[in-house]
Structure formats: structure tokens, C-alpha cells
Amino acid sequence: MRPPIGSVITKLRRQDPYIQQEQHRYRSPRGFQHWANHLAYAALIEAGLQVMDALEDPIGFWAATTCRWARIVDAPPRFLAPELAEAFRRTPSPRLDDELPQVLPCFRLMLPDGALFTEDGVPIPELIVADLRVMADWLPAEAHRISGTSCVGLALDGSSYLTRHSFAQIGERQPTEEDMSHPAYERDEQAVQSTNQRMEGLAINALLVQLYQPELLTTAPAAKVPSGKGFSAGGGADAPGAVKPQGPVWIGKDLRLDRTTRAPSPSSPSGASSSAPRRPHWRRGHWHTVLHGEKRQSRRMKWFQPVYVGLG
């Protein structure tokens, strides 16, 4: 019989050397998963790497590999503000390609409470998002041709979700090394795919905002490190080898969606009256390539926020 997930996480927090060293580097704001707990869940998935490889389970292998990569490169957390998380749910993620800048090898997307759940209603409080191009020299030889992003969702029941945003059209998704979408096994395949789609939407939108709209990023002051009790006993800021606390980086902390109702277009281009009035609703956000710079020859992506429209 497997031990309860809570006891496993507690044991990892107390005994894992990496967690003991890194648990005070960040302090999660209220409404987010505790930073040390996140490290423990990631360590739990990474610990299954050899087992998944031996079982020839490519999905479990890739999830564990991504978690290991995040630890190796000290992937930083990014705390997604609740208002922006709602906006991302109303913004379909665009198709990316190899022109995407390779400046974010990996980051940990910390989600606010209630932002993402599995098909069984289990919270997924954080995602690990990695650029496979940057990982290329570190991956097994058979994986060097893979290009895109790997996104791992860590659910609170100890399960992991894995999706891949490919930079090339590779046909039907299959649970192999060539496509890292989540296998259905004995679960509802459509429900699992729905979880993956929502997870990928949050991850890709968060990635693009960091690349193209850095004005939405803000850094809060570093919190003071507790000392002397609990998991932190002997691991305070003055302990040998202790890391320096850093302030959390927010994505969209000050963003507020405009919920002012806007009247829809009164008529169609031909001058005929528009279709029957619709209930007030959100018009989806979108990403659009815009021209800028000298003679407008440079291209960049810009996010257009969701807009509330209706009968105003």
C-alpha cells in the first residue's frame, strides 16, 4: 500500500538536500502553493526517472526529465496573478515556431488557487515549462530532433500531466517520445486532453508575456526567512551554504481586466442590421504579430486582452 502523498512530501522536505538548501530562496505569496512543497512534488516526479525509463514509459520519462532539468538550471518561479490567469483562459495560445527567442530555458509557473484542476477535480497548482531546444545537448540522442516546449503539471495527488507544444506539425498525437501528450491509460481520454489543453494555454501565454510584454512583470521585495523551528530548523539565512532570499516575480500583478460592457457593432459591413442581440459575453483575447522599429521591418508578438461586449 502506497503511503499518503502528504507524508511523502513531508519526508522529502525534511530529508532531500536540495530542498533543504533551496526552500528559503523564495517565499510564495498568499494563495499559492508553498515553495518548499512545490520543490518536493517536483522531486517526487524526478525520483521516478529510472523506473519510467526501465518501464519504457515515455510520458513518465519526459515528465521526470523536465523536472530534473528545472532543478539543474535553477528554474525560477513566476507567480501568475489571478486576474491574468482568467485572461489567459480567454486567450487561445497561438502556434509557435523556431523563431521563438531562446532566452527562457525553463521556468516554474506558480498558479493561484483555483486556476487549474485535473479532470477529477484535483488542483494543479504549478507547471514546469521548458524549451526543448535549449535542452537539446542534455537530452538523449534519440530526442535531439524534438523541437518545442515541454510542460509538466504537478497535481496535488502526486500525479503529473505532460503536454508538448511542437514547433512542427507532426500529425496525430501519440504517447511516444515523438509526442509528449498525456496517455489516457484507464482514464477518460477526452477529459485528460481537456486538462492538457487548459494547462498548455496557461503555459504558452505566460511564456509569450515574459518574452514580448515584460511590462507585465514585477518583482516584490524578498520576504524575511523564518528560523529555528519546523522544516527551517538549522537552515536559516545564516546557516552554512544558505541561499540568499529573492523576491517573487509576478506576472500581471497589477493587471485588471476591463469589464465595462461595450456595445457590439451596430451593423454588418453591407449595412444590414446585425444578428439578434447576444447576451453580454467575453470576446476572446488573441496574439497578433505587429511591425515595429526602423521602417517597420522588425516583427514582434503583441497580446490583445479579452474584451467584455454586450448590450451596453
**1-53 pLDDT tens trace:** 456 899 999 999 999 999 999 999 999 999 999 999 999 999 999 998 888 87
Task: Read off the pLDDT of residues 100-127 as tens digits, 9 standing for 90 and up.
Answer: 888 999 999 999 999 999 988 999 999 9
Q: Output the pTM of the full model.
A: 0.83
Residue 80 · residue 204 · CB < 8 Å:
no
Please tell me whether residue 53 adopts helix, strand or coil conformation. Answer: helix
* Residue length of the chain: 312
Which residue has better confidence, 245 or 138? 245
pLDDT tens readout for residues 129-161: 999 888 888 877 766 666 788 899 999 999 888
The pLDDT of residue 262 is 63
Read off the pLDDT of each residue in 259-279 and give the average, rounded to a whole number: 57
The answer on pLDDT for 214 being more than 90 is yes
pLDDT of 12: 94
What's the chain's average pLDDT? 81
d(CA 27, CA 116): 21
Tell me if 111 sits within 8 A of 124, measured CB to CB.
yes
Q: Is the pLDDT of residue 259 over 80?
A: no
Residue 76: which residues within 8 A CB-CB, separation 6 or more?
107, 108, 249
